[in-house]
Amino acid sequence: MKKFATVAVLSLAALAAQAKDIVDTAVSAGQFKTLATALQAAGLVDTLKGPGPFTVFAPTDEAFAKIPKADLEALLKDKAKLTAVLTYHVVPGKVMSKDVAPGQVKTVQGSALTVSTTGGVMVDKARVTAADIVASNGVIHVIDSVVLPN
């Protein structure tokens, strides 16, 4: 019985090690340093480490680099505006790429993203460059631009 318990504990530990939440998955990918900094500045890390599920359209560091440096620095200092921008990238639920349909999708921020599927998936004017990065509490779709609510 002791051997079985040890195997079960090791199996659970291996499963827990594989099942990273959205924040840990993004951080370990290495291409979302600016997003991680922004989530921390907005106080959203704990939320996105929560149970979810969430679908996150995650801009890469290159996407954030498209924003003029002074504008990005100002955004990072304005917690309310930063929170609105970041939550505009999050949709409640776990939406895998096979379930994406063109149209309006309501975000956690409250506004709707426009999704199109002609010639690849676009979210507003951002292109999805990688899809279905599964996390323990949702899914990440990588986008090439930061999208802004109206």
Rounded CA-CA distance 12/51 in Å is 18
Cα–Cα separations (whole angstroms), residue 77 to 32, 71, 81, 105, 145 = 18, 10, 9, 28, 20
Query: Within a 10 A sphere around the Cβ of 103, how many other Cβ atoms?
Result: 11
pLDDT in tens, 5-57: 333 334 344 444 457 999 999 999 989 999 999 999 999 999 999 999 999 99
- Which residue, chain included where needed, has tokens 């929170």? 83
**In the chain, domain spans:** 21-143
pLDDT in tens, 78-137: 999 999 999 999 999 999 999 999 999 999 999 999 999 988 999 999 999 999 999 999
pLDDT at 18: 56
Strands (E), the chain: 54-59, 90-92, 103-106, 112-116, 122-123, 126-135, 138-143
Query: Within a 10 A sphere around the Cβ of 134, how many other Cβ atoms?
Result: 15
Strand partners, 139: 55, 134
Taking the domain 21-143, which CATH number applies? 2.30.180.10
Provide mean pLDDT across the span 45-73.
95
- How is residue 103 written in tokens? 């149209």
Report which of residues 2 and 77 the model is more confident about: 77
